[in-house]
Structures are given as C-alpha cells and as structure tokens.
Amino acid sequence: MIRLAIRVRREEAEVALAELLTLAPGGVEEIDLGDRVEYAVYGAPGELPALPDVEAAVGGALVEVVTTTVDDDWADRWRAFHQPVVIGERLHIRPPWAPARDDLIEVVIDPGQAFGTGAHDTTRLCLELLLQLEPDGPLMDLGCGSGVLAVAAAKLGFGPVHGIDHEQQSIEATHANARANGTMVQATRFDLLRDGPAPSAPTTLANLLCPLLLDAARTGFAVPTPNVLIASGLLTTEADEVAQAFAQRHGFEEHARKETDTWAALLLRRPG
C-alpha cells in the first residue's frame, strides 16, 4: 500500500483539498502541521493520482509531495485515524467499528466510501449550526459526499431529505450510509457548475468550497428559494464575501457564524 501526501501552506489548503477530492473521492487524510496542512491518500501502486496532474492543478500552492510505502498494518492505522466525533452533545458521528453511545443520536458513516465523516472542521461547523434549527420539513444537501449531513438531518427529524452530488460514488455512498442508519435519504447526481440553478428545499445545506457557493449565489436556486441556508466549506477570510453575495442576490440575513482558526460556516435566513 502506498501513501501519497501533499503538504501545502495553510492559506492555500483549500485549493489543494478541492483538487484531491476530485482525483481521489475515496477519502483524504488531513494532518495539521502548524503553518502547513498535509493531505494524504492511500492506494495500491498504480491506483493513486498522477503527480503531474496534482502539480498542474495546485500550482504555486504545492509545497512538498511525499510518497511512502505503508506497512502491513495500514488498515489498523486507517481505522485509528477515524475516531468518533461528538457534535453539540447531541450527535455521535462514528465509523462502523467504533462503539455506540446510548446517550446520543448515532450517525454511522463508513469513511472508505466517500469524503466526509464528520471529523473535518467544515462538516462539524455545518452540523453545529444545523443543531440550532428546529427540524421543520424538507431539507436539501448540496454536495452530499458520504451523506453524513443528510443522514444526520434525517436522524434529527427533517424530512424528506434529498442530497445531490456530481460524483456517482458519493450518490452510492449516501444511499449506503442512509440504509445503514435506517434513514430515508434520496440522492441524485447534479453538477452545480453545469446543470443550472441549485436544487433547494426550505432548509438547504451547502458544505461547498467558496467558488461553488459564489456560483450558487449568482445562478440562484430552483423553486422554492430556501428560507434557511447553512453555507460551510469556507475559509474564515471568505465568509464575509459569501454572506454578502447571498444577501445582495437573495435577501439572506446572517443569523449565526461558527469559526475555527481556518474554517467558517454561516447560518443565513430570508426574512418573513
């Protein structure tokens, strides 16, 4: 087994992450190195992304590429990396092999199927804002990935829940994780850059990179326009721009913001 790691400056991490998720949707390991962030993918020889493609995509953001041979215990190390996450003292996001908790709402996500297990800051921030809402009818998850947000929403009482993603692997992972959690989540393929206005529901989640969120603000939503929009996947330096874009074009007002040192998520509402 080979481990391909790409180390980038923290301020350029978003660019590298976006490219890696396109080339390796099966999962990305993230390690904080202080002023740099390391993203890594695993695979057999010949299965990993070609280095020239990665270099061309991230350009000046690329700091260092490290390829190592992983010992036979790589599967155990992969499992050790994916630890359970508690969100707001209500949700317990865990991989299938981690023990359950009786005192929290369980969301079981297989990290090997698609990106998004609940551990990444962008997912956690989105879930923290979701917990501030009273479950109220339909919910749309734009860019559903592994289905963690959609499944959590269904567990919290939203419904019907629908997710979209441009990757067929993400659609399959969302359906599989929904079944594993005993929830009903519909997931379909949709390309936010090419297929027109974004699908929506009264409550809509958008854990996307900043360019996609700005494009959604420009393109608009299919009817009905959401009453509540949670926008995540943002660097803290991008949050104001995204909030302003949705305010100017769709009348959204910012009601809450969650931040880490690097990432931000917004809770936006339309008046009325």
Q: Looking at the structure, do residues 39 and 130 belong to the same domain, yes or no?
A: no
| Enclosing domain of residue 36 | 2-77
Res 59: pLDDT = 46
Give the CATH number of the domain where residue 57 resides: 3.30.70.120
Q: Looking at the structure, do residues 156 and 216 belong to the same domain, yes or no?
A: yes
Q: Looking at the structure, do residues 70 and 133 belong to the same domain, yes or no?
A: no
Q: Looking at the structure, do residues 51 and 128 belong to the same domain, yes or no?
A: no
How would you classify the pairing of strands 36-43 and 29-32? antiparallel
Question: Distance between CA atoms of 17 and 9, rounded to whole angstroms?
Answer: 12
The domain tally of the chain equals 2
Sign of the four-CA dihedral 22, 26, 31, 32 = positive
Q: Looking at the structure, do residues 236 and 143 belong to the same domain, yes or no?
A: yes
- Structure-block tokens of residue 145: 């990935």
Q: Looking at the structure, do residues 73 and 130 belong to the same domain, yes or no?
A: no
Q: Looking at the structure, do residues 250 and 167 belong to the same domain, yes or no?
A: yes
Instruction: Decide if 129 is inside a domain.
Output: yes
Give the CATH number of the domain where residue 253 resides: 3.40.50.150
Q: Looking at the structure, do residues 153 and 226 belong to the same domain, yes or no?
A: yes
Instruction: Decide if 83 is inside a domain.
Output: no
Instruction: Decide if 115 is inside a domain.
Output: no
Res 75: pLDDT = 60
Q: Looking at the structure, do residues 137 and 238 belong to the same domain, yes or no?
A: yes
Res 43: pLDDT = 64
- DSSP assignment string, 104-124: SEEEE--TTTSS--S-SHHHH
Q: Looking at the structure, do residues 184 and 49 belong to the same domain, yes or no?
A: no
Q: Looking at the structure, do residues 177 and 52 belong to the same domain, yes or no?
A: no
Does this model's pTM top 0.85? My answer is no
pLDDT in tens, the chain (272 residues): 677 777 887 777 766 776 666 555 555 777 777 777 888 776 666 656 555 445 444 445 555 777 777 666 656 666 666 778 899 999 999 988 889 999 999 999 987 644 556 677 889 999 999 999 999 899 999 999 889 999 999 999 999 999 999 888 889 989 999 999 999 999 999 998 889 899 999 999 999 888 889 999 999 998 778 999 999 988 899 999 999 999 999 999 999 999 988 889 999 999 87
Instruction: Decide if 260 is inside a domain.
Output: yes
Instruction: Decide if 88 is inside a domain.
Output: no
Instruction: Decide if 198 is inside a domain.
Output: yes
Q: Which of 173, 151, 170 is nearest to 162 (CA)?
A: 151
Instruction: Decide if 103 is inside a domain.
Output: no
Q: Looking at the structure, do residues 130 and 256 belong to the same domain, yes or no?
A: yes
User: Alpha carbon 169 to chain centroid distance?
Assistant: 14
- Structure-block tokens of residue 63: 């700091």
Res 156: pLDDT = 97
Res 118: pLDDT = 66
Res 82: pLDDT = 72
Res 76: pLDDT = 63
